[in-house]
Amino acid sequence: MALYSEKVMDHFINPRNVGVIENADGVGEVGNAKCGDIMKMYLKIEDDTIKDVKFETFGCASAIASSSMATELIKGQPVEKAMELTNKAVAEALDGLPDYKMHCSVLAEEAIHSALEDYNKRRKSE
């Protein structure tokens, strides 16, 4: 059996939504010191809907694929729905991850939640 699903390989080789959003409405950065993966998420939000999302990930194939899939899952979604994103949903959308790589999907979830929290903080301070 292959180590990674076709979807993981596809999102690793052809990641979606890579890059930076200038003047993002929310930015979240998380990292896992143990494995060295770092993810940064950028959100553009209009009318409480995620209009655009980009990411920069320094990490393994699973980390890049998880970031890519997570952005696809929340793009166009209401902020409230994006807050409900779980690492399990990310892993399932990728047709599974090896057990020892599940932390990559957790990082993707945390990066998105961190960016959404940043967005909410900025909104309150306006």
Enumerate the active-site residues.
Answer: 35, 104
Listed residue (114, 63, 116) closest to 90, CA to CA: 63
Measured CA to CA, the distance from residue 36 to residue 96 in angstroms comes to 21
Burial environment of residue 126 by CB neighbours within 10 A (0 to 12, 13 to 18, 19 or more): exposed
3 φ/ψ angles, rounded to the nearest 5 degrees: -65, -40
Under 8 Å between Cβ of 106 and 34: no
Residue in the block written with tokens 């080789």? 13
